[in-house]
Chains A and B, each alone.
Chain A
């Protein structure tokens, strides 16, 4: 069956360091992969989308890579700040399909 895995353990890093979050998937051929941020009690907020034919995407301090051979995406936040502390969700969309399949998310805690 289709599966999306994100680290269930929280990632604790110090301010200024680069945070790297992982999203692995099996039995899936996504056309698009997205990353969202979710704060407690709030809805997910879209961050970045990367297409299957793209290897890397950047937006300000964020970088996403997409390796369809390894079936993995890495999400990087450089020069991390305490305000980056949140849960980050990976989501996949099939080609020609319109709904997203989400991972459970990884909590990031950035300490000052």
Chain B
């Protein structure tokens, strides 16, 4: 987990509010991934970004969810109008190159979202 910083670590939101999760990758890494882990479920891929580009968002719900990785600053996962089903742990990961082949992927400690 060296170097991938996520915040906040824990976040409580009421239904209908917005949640913003931030991720700073390992220094020098330009590839960022977001995964979601629901209770009793495995990690599910959401989105893959490179600086200023969304490469693959096939795992993102079509509505209410968005992600960005600007030229400067952290990657942001934004969830609008949260519902109870959004309660989960959201993990960010980074790698120096594309994919896992030959590149170790580093995960952050996660942001644990609770919707009340």
Do A and B pair up? The answer is yes
List, in ascending order, chain A residues with CB within 8 A of B99's CB.
93, 96-99
> Complex: how many Å from CA A89 to CA B35?
14
> Complex: how many Å from CA A44 to CA B98?
19
Q: Mark B76-116, 1 if CB is under 8 A from A, else 0.
A: 00000000000000010000001111001111111010000
List, in ascending order, chain A residues with CB within 8 A of B28's CB.
none
Q: A36-B107, A41-B110 given; name 6 further pairs at CB < 8 Å.
A: A43-B91, A46-B105, A93-B99, A100-B43, A100-B105, A102-B44
Interface residues of A in 52-102 (CB under 8 A from B): 89, 91, 93, 95-102
- Nearest CB of chain A from residue B15's CB, rounded to whole Å: 24
Confirm or deny: B56 has a beta carbon within 8 angstroms of a beta carbon on chain A: yes
* Residues of A contacting B: mostly: strand
Confirm or deny: B17 has a beta carbon within 8 angstroms of a beta carbon on chain A: no
Interface residues of B (CB under 8 A from A): 1, 4, 31, 33, 35, 40-45, 48, 55-56, 59, 91, 98-101, 104-110, 112
Contacts A34-B100, A98-B31, A98-B98 given: A45-B107 contact, CB under 8 Å?
A: yes
> Whose C-beta in chain B lies nearest to the C-beta of A31?
B101
Contacts A43-B108, A46-B106 given: A99-B101 contact, CB under 8 Å?
A: no
Q: Mark A33-44, 1 if CB is under 8 A from B, else 0.
A: 010100001111
User: Are the C-beta atoms of B100 and A93 separated by less than 8 Å?
Assistant: yes
9 interchain pairs (CB within 8 A)?
Answer: A32-B100, A32-B101, A42-B1, A42-B110, A46-B106, A93-B99, A98-B33, A100-B43, A104-B42
Interface residues of A (CB under 8 A from B): 4, 31-32, 34, 36, 41-46, 49, 51, 89, 91, 93, 95-105
User: Are the C-beta atoms of A93 and B101 separated by less than 8 Å?
Assistant: yes
